């Protein structure tokens, strides 16, 4: 098994929470993704933060293009590894 993770970068917490819940239905992911707040350097304001949705993909079966399109639904993107 490989240790593959996909990271979706989303602009707000609400969108990140929605995406984390929806990813299981859309892609059949059994484990709920981890949400991580990523503040820009020196910024404490929540409006200056991005939210990361970390999806574990130990079998490497998730399609990166489909994940890009999925993240775009919340005005986000998938980080390239």
pTM confidence score: 0.85
Write the pLDDT tens digit of every residue in 1-37.
Answer: 456 899 999 999 999 999 999 998 999 988 889 999 9
pLDDT surpassing 50 at residue 68: yes
Q: How many CB atoms lie within 10 A of CB 74?
A: 21
Looking at every residue in the chain, the average pLDDT score rounds to 87
As a whole number of angstroms, the distance between CA 68 and CA 51 comes to 15
As a whole number of angstroms, the distance between CA 4 and CA 27 comes to 15
Contacts of 31 by beta carbon, 8 Å cutoff, 6+ apart: 56
Write the pLDDT tens digit of every residue in 35-67.
Answer: 999 876 555 555 568 999 999 998 889 999 999
Tokens for 17? 């929470």
How high is the pLDDT of residue 1?
43
């Amino acid at each position: 098994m490989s240790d593959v993770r996909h990271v979706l970068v989303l602009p707000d917490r609400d969108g990140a929470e929605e995406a984390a819940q929806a990813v299981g239905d859309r892609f059949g992911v059994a484990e709920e993704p981890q949400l991580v707040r990523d503040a820009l350097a020196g910024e404490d304001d929540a409006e200056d933060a991005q939210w990361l949705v970390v999806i574990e993909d130990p079998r490497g079966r998730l399609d990166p293009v489909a994940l890009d399109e999925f993240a775009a639904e919340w005005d986000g993107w998938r980080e390239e590894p």
